[in-house]
Amino acid sequence: YQRRVRDRHSTSFQMAAVSLNFLTDDGESHAPSLGLNAQLAPHFMVPQGNPQHFLATAHEGAAKADKLEFAHGTTTLAFKFNDGIVVAVDSRSTQGPYIASQSVKKVIEINPYLLGTMAGGAADCSFWERQLGRECRLYELRNKERISVAAASKILAGYCYSYKGYGLSMGTMVAGWDKTGPQLFYVDSDGSRLKGHKFSVGSGSTYAYGVLDRYYREDLSAEEACELGRRAIYHATHRDAYSGGTINVYHVKEDGWVKISADDMMTLHDRYTADAPN
Amino acid sequence: MSDSLIAITGDDFVLVAADTTHTRSIMVVKESGEDKIMELDSHKLLAASGDNGDRNAFCQYVQKNSALYRLRNGTPLSTRALANWTRRALADALRKHPYSANLLLAGYDASPTEGKPGKVSLYYIDYLASMQQLPFACQGYAGHFLLGLLDNGWRKGMTREEARELLDKCIEQLQTRFVLGAPKFAIKLVDKDGVHVIESADA
């Protein structure tokens, strides 16, 4: 028989609600003696004081302007070539000066033959691209045919346009191969939708374009194209503070996309500088 | 503002040109291939500049409503009626939320009397939904560079060749003097035979 304790200060996990007081306490020790006292389950021993306090104050003062500013801090690119489409992205997520993550998946696998990229608000991109995936599946069921990339990108652009002015932040590319061949569209939260053969989106895009524009050829081999994408993102991660982490490269082929590589940017840096003449 | 639209009328044709770039702050997102002149129906063109999302959405809205009218009533709207409808739609949209689309609407209307020549018209509608019928017009910064040139060079009853020459001068002038002078312009013409693509937007 377990007596149910509804007391707010209890740290037992057998309660109806989990007490989160350990987040706000002033350092008084509530640590139970482990092992002998089975009634009190162990609770979180937080290493760095008070994370709630940290998050609340991380964007105060000088850093206040950085709070919730979605400046598309990222580098993503995609380009068409003779053998399909190469999509390459970095994986860094930043909140002002703070690097929140170095391992964000910025390529969203909408379905086995459609890829979406993420720049801007991570939640906006992943939610709406997932929603797009659902809509694409419904299209397939209703029409017994895969949806075209043009139609898929238009659905996404429609979502963005209907929320225009409400603060969605998305700079995304939709890449796929349909019956008209490989197709690439750029869609953003203004409701823009552009068809093209080469795009780079994000704060590091200008750096990526430099490498991408000058070394691009239509007749690149699949391996050369992937390396070009990888290299362009690498250069952007090197120069742009808001880009970094792992460089993920995908190749969209006629029968669907394939993930080619995931290289840590620092490893690539060592490799490329070792190869450099001086 | 960085988009350039130019239109020149003759007695029986309207020549419409639009740049084909898409820029965002300091970057050229798309340097050619963006078609900003929409064919509303067989004898009407709507060129639009401004925010990409607004421009696309609004042009499609006008195009579909124009088609709906034709389907319901068995006859297309005249250019003048469509221009007024468009202006009103833009004014209404504007009063709900910020909207950025500048338009040039050009069309040919067949004469109600058999055998008589129809007429062409060009309407300038800016982002505040003010409208004017004009013999020639520009949208965007292009106007600053070209209206003088157009005032000087335009004549009533210009031939197509003369109009094309004047348009080429305008485009050249933008490329010379305008910081955002795009290299590639798409050009379309509307006359009694319908819409003709003179220079395609595609690269």
Tell me the pLDDT tens digit for each residue of A113-143. Answer: 999 999 998 889 989 999 999 999 999 999 9
Distance CA B197, CA B151 (A): 25
For B156, list phi and psi in degrees, rounded to 5: -70, 135
Q: 3-state DSSP call for residue B58?
A: helix
Which pLDDT belongs to residue B179? 87
- For the residues of A180-240, what is the DSSP string, one character each? TEEEEEEEETTS-EEE-SEEEESTTHHHHHHHHHHH--TT--HHHHHHHHHHHHHHHHHH-
Given a contact cutoff of 8 angstroms between Cβ atoms, the answer to whether A191 and A52 are in contact is no
Q: 3-state DSSP call for residue A10?
A: coil
Given a contact cutoff of 8 angstroms between Cβ atoms, the answer to whether A133 and A175 are in contact is no
CB atoms within 10 A of CB A274: 7
Residues of chain A with pLDDT under 50: 1-16, 28, 32-38, 69-70
Q: Which two tokens stand for residue B142?
A: 């292009």
Which residue of chain A comes nearest to B34, CA vs CA? A194
Which pLDDT belongs to residue A37? 44
Which pLDDT belongs to residue A11? 45
Which pLDDT belongs to residue A73? 84
Catalytic residue among A74, A76, A94, A237: A74
Which pLDDT belongs to residue B26? 83
Which pLDDT belongs to residue A7? 43
CB-based contact (8 Å) between A192 and chain B?
yes
Given a contact cutoff of 8 angstroms between Cβ atoms, the answer to whether B13 and B120 are in contact is yes
Q: Which residues of A touch B56 (CB under 8 A)?
A: 191-193
Hey, are the CB atoms on B56 and A195 less than 8 Å from each other? no
C-alpha separations of A121 from A74, A93, A128, A134, B81 in Å? 10, 10, 11, 20, 43
Is the ipTM higher than 0.85? The answer is no
Nearest to B53 among A164, A195, A205 (CB): A164
Which residue of chain B comes nearest to A200, CA vs CA? B29
Which pLDDT belongs to residue A67? 53
Which pLDDT belongs to residue A161? 95
C-alpha triplet A251, A255, A256: angle, nearest 5° = 45
DSSP A26: -
Q: Which of B3, B20, B25, B29 to mutate to test binding with chain A, by most A CBs within 10 Å of its CB?
A: B29
Q: Which residues contact A78 (CB under 8 A, 6 or more apart)?
A: A85, A86, A87, A88, A117, A173, A175, A184, A198, A199, A200
Nearest partner of B121 among B158, B161, B77, B80, judged by Cα: B80
Strand partners, B120: B108
Hey, are the CB atoms on B27 and A194 less than 8 Å from each other? no
Residues of chain B with pLDDT under 50: none
Strand partners, B187: B17, B199
